[in-house]
Amino acid sequence: MTNGTEIRLHRILRKGRMLCIPMDHGISNGPIEGLEKPHSMIYKCESHGITCVIINKGIIKTLPRPPKVGILVHFSASTSLSTAPNRKMLTGSVKEALRLGADGVSLHINIGGKEEPEMLADLGMISEQCHKWNVPLLAMMYPRGENIKNPHDPEVVAHTARIGAECGADIVKTLYTGDIDSFSKVVESIPVPVVIAGGPKAKTDMEILQMTEDAMKAGAKGVTYGRNIFAHNSPEKIVEALAGIIFKNQTAKEVASIIGN
């Protein structure tokens, strides 16, 4: 029989794969380029291939209408104005996620800094709540802190991602290591689906398309790209191109023409 977690995962994934736009940046960075009007960005992209969005609860509460895609509510927060921007604080509960109508919960955990213990405790607590209420949990697992010399080091990425799975996340988001071989080993060591972060805005469209193709070849189940979608001059077209790679197994070169490259 199907349980609540599977039903909700079906709403945030397609064919077991994810094309997600994380749009939680308003708390950490304010109304940055592309997110001046987050509701409009969601509606602009919802019919072009995305499976879900990650948004803060205030954005959910002010949606003019329900979107056509899944919603993960983000319950981690810190600001760039803080003296401790890496210290993510918990901003909600799983019961609140259910009241809001969200399909899942997203948490951001930084590994490698002095703030790590508190965030791990929050991850464990929210994981237990998610399991109790059959709500999928996506853990954004980032190597970030004083002890991290190279955040893309395959061993560091694998350890960081594995923590998310070990603590009960249903999906782990982490950094791409930079090549297919090393990232394949990361994916193989994680017992839940792995999706990659986009990081800073890419210099070229081909750069982000090729990274997506390579990550999928390595075994990733999708991507969660923020600035590389919402700060793009044509968000709908980059979404369509990414969808071709993720859901149709097309190559970066094959989909580049969608964007006009």
| 24 annotated among ligand-binding-site residues | yes
pLDDT at 184: 98
One of 24, 170, 205, 214 is an active-site residue; which one? Answer: 24
pLDDT at 119: 98
pLDDT at 75: 98
The total number of structural domains in the chain stands at 1
Query: Catalytic residue at 179?
Result: no
pLDDT at 107: 98
pLDDT at 226: 97
pLDDT tens, position by position, 183-195: 999 999 999 999 9
One of 88, 103, 173, 221 is an active-site residue; which one? Answer: 173
pLDDT at 200: 82
Task: Please give the Cα distance from 250 to 151 (Å, whole number).
Answer: 29
**For residue 132, what are the contacts with CB-CB under 8 A and spacing of at least 6?**
94
| 43-51 mean pLDDT | 98
Domain that includes residue 71, residue range: 4-259
Query: Catalytic residue at 88?
Result: no
| 208-223 mean pLDDT | 98
| 21 annotated among ligand-binding-site residues | no
Task: Please give the Cα distance from 142 to 13 (Å, whole number).
Answer: 22
CA 172 to each of CA 102, 122, 124, 134: distance values in angstroms, whole numbers, following the listed order: 18, 16, 14, 17
**pLDDT band for position 166 (cuts 50, 70, 90):** very high
The count of other CB atoms within 10 Å of the CB of residue 7 is 12
Please give the share of the chain, as a percent, with pLDDT higher than 70: 99
Mean pLDDT computed over every residue of the chain: 97
pLDDT at 74: 98
One of 142, 170, 176, 205 is an active-site residue; which one? Answer: 142
Please give the share of the chain, as a percent, with pLDDT higher than 90: 97
**pLDDT band for position 132 (cuts 50, 70, 90):** very high
pLDDT at 260: 82
Query: Catalytic residue at 132?
Result: no
**pTM for the model:** 0.97
| 65 annotated among ligand-binding-site residues | no
| 226 annotated among ligand-binding-site residues | yes
pLDDT at 261: 66
Which DSSP category does 14 fall into? B
| 104 annotated among ligand-binding-site residues | no
> What CATH number should be reported for the domain holding residue 96?
3.20.20.70
**For residue 222, what are the contacts with CB-CB under 8 A and spacing of at least 6?**
13, 17, 18, 19, 20, 51, 193, 195, 196, 216, 246
The candidate with the shortest Cα–Cα distance to 93, out of 142, 121, 127, is: 127
| 44-69 mean pLDDT | 98
